[in-house]
Amino acid sequence: MDRVKQAIILAAGEGQRLKPFTALKPKVMLPIANKPILQYVIEALATNGVFQVVIVVGYRKEQVQDYFGSGERFGVDISYVVQEQQLGTGHALRQAKDMAEGRFMVLSGDNIIEPDTLSSFLEADAGAVLLKEQKNTSKYGVATVKDGLVSDIAEKPEKTESFLVNTGIYLFNRQVFSFLEEEVDLVQALKEGLKVGYRLLAAQTPGRWLDVVYPWDILVLNDRTLKMLSPSRGGRTEAGVAINGPVTVGKGTIIRSHTYIVGPVIIGENCEIGPSVCLLPSTSLGKGVVVSPFSLIENSVINSSVEVGPNSTIVDSIIDYGCIFKGNFMAHSGESEVKIEGEYHSVKMGAMVGEYCKVGEGVSIQPGRSLGTHCQVGPGKVISTDIPGSGLVV
């Protein structure tokens, strides 16, 4: 049987549990190692010869369409369909019904996958799901498999004997649309199909499949992805700079004297680093980032156009686009209880800062606390509670 040549990517969702980082952009556009998550998906498809791509967009769809365009830059041919209301994954797939070929792959745009993960799966018969063994299954759909076929998929079960989670990657033919006429959730539609004899082949992968559910997952994915990158050097490095380990530096970037960098680290284009800055492992700096003297950043994701004032410390933190921090800013890491969508999570985390925040001199953010987009914080403040978007702390 020929390999599948078409993929339908579900990329319409908002990502409520990832706020404040999805307040102004869709989940699929979250940067991991300086690339949107969706770009990793498209590149994996292109590597496997899947060049026909249909993307189902919805929430802030213009950002996806503007970045990926026709797909030519990524070696694929992209078409778009719009899910006006984000009612569910089955409803999203149904929007692409008129574009779907006889056999096609369906996958989520918000999971990082390696090309090898998809390679053998593309040769499977239509009516298949890709499963991966996970130790912690509590936040996934868990598949029960008998004789190589899926007999059930339980969403986020409290107890299960199976450790095979649903990656959300499928091979279908057009028969699947017969289950989607009334059902908006794809998994629920498949469960109904299984009851009436629909065959869903269970394919397992040992390959890399990484998903983002909560903000701290961004740091985990960033760390793992950075370790896979091939380092490269652009820009200009002044005398007295020490670089150890795999470090990628973009064009137009200046790394000033006496800066110390330990990879894996990626620094985007047109950044200004130092002098006397310390960048420690698992740190990503986007385009146009300024890190002023005597600052330290470790295991953090700093999005583009961020300015970090002198003598600042940022650890285990996520700083989104366009933020400005005056000097002596502190975002230390520590154990904290974080509330997400009514659930409490105990995590080791620094600060979570949404887009376009302005933070005054000498501000400290306690571990696990967040600033929503467009917040302003006056000098000398200690942030010990979450501040909603457009908040003012004076």
As averages over each run of 10 residues, the pLDDT of the chain (394 residues) reads: 87 93 96 96 95 97 97 97 92 94 93 86 84 78 85 77 86 90 88 87 83 93 93 94 97 98 98 98 98 98 98 98 98 94 92 98 98 98 97 96
Give whole-number Cα distances, 145 to 106, 151, 202, in Å: 20, 6, 7
* Domain 225-393 homologous superfamily, CATH: Hexapeptide repeat proteins (2.160.10.10)
Per-residue model confidence (pLDDT) at position 333: 96
- CA–CA separation, 109 vs 80, rounded Å? 13
Residue 239 CB neighbour total at 10 angstroms: 7
* Domain 6-213 homologous superfamily, CATH: Spore Coat Polysaccharide Biosynthesis Protein SpsA; Chain A (3.90.550.10)
Whether residue 354 contacts residue 375, with contact meaning beta carbons closer than 8 Å, is answered with yes
- Domain spans, the chain: 6-213, 225-393
- Which tokens belong to 72? 């030519």
Per-residue model confidence (pLDDT) at position 342: 87
3-class secondary structure, 221: helix
Per-residue model confidence (pLDDT) at position 1: 61
Q: State the angle between helix axes of 61-68 and 37-47 in degrees (0 to 180), rounded to the nearest 10.
A: 40
- CA–CA separation, 354 vs 375, rounded Å? 8
Whether residue 255 contacts residue 241, with contact meaning beta carbons closer than 8 Å, is answered with yes
Per-residue model confidence (pLDDT) at position 276: 98
In 3D space, the residue among 300, 63, 166 whose CA is nearest the CA of residue 308 turns out to be 300
Distance of CA 133 to the CA centre of its chain: 20
Per-residue model confidence (pLDDT) at position 331: 97
- Which tokens belong to 144? 């029960």
Per-residue model confidence (pLDDT) at position 144: 83
Per-residue model confidence (pLDDT) at position 145: 85
**Bridge partners (DSSP) listed for residue 382:** 364
Domains 6-213 and 225-393 share a fold: no
Per-residue model confidence (pLDDT) at position 119: 83
Per-residue model confidence (pLDDT) at position 83: 95
| Burial (Cβ within 10 Å: 0-12, 13-18, ≥19) of residue 15 | buried
Residue 192 CB neighbour total at 10 angstroms: 14
Cβ contacts of residue 72 below 8 Å, gap of 6+? none
- Which tokens belong to 154? 């339980």
| Sheet strand arrangement including 265-267 | 247-249, 265-267, 283-285, 301-302, 318-319, 352-353, 370-371
Residues in the chain: 394
Per-residue model confidence (pLDDT) at position 207: 76
Per-residue model confidence (pLDDT) at position 209: 84
Whether residue 314 contacts residue 296, with contact meaning beta carbons closer than 8 Å, is answered with yes
Cβ contacts of residue 66 below 8 Å, gap of 6+? none
Per-residue model confidence (pLDDT) at position 322: 98
Per-residue model confidence (pLDDT) at position 132: 86
Per-residue model confidence (pLDDT) at position 154: 81
Tell me the helices (H) and strands (E) count for the chain, helix number first. Answer: 6, 39
- Which tokens belong to 240? 């007295």
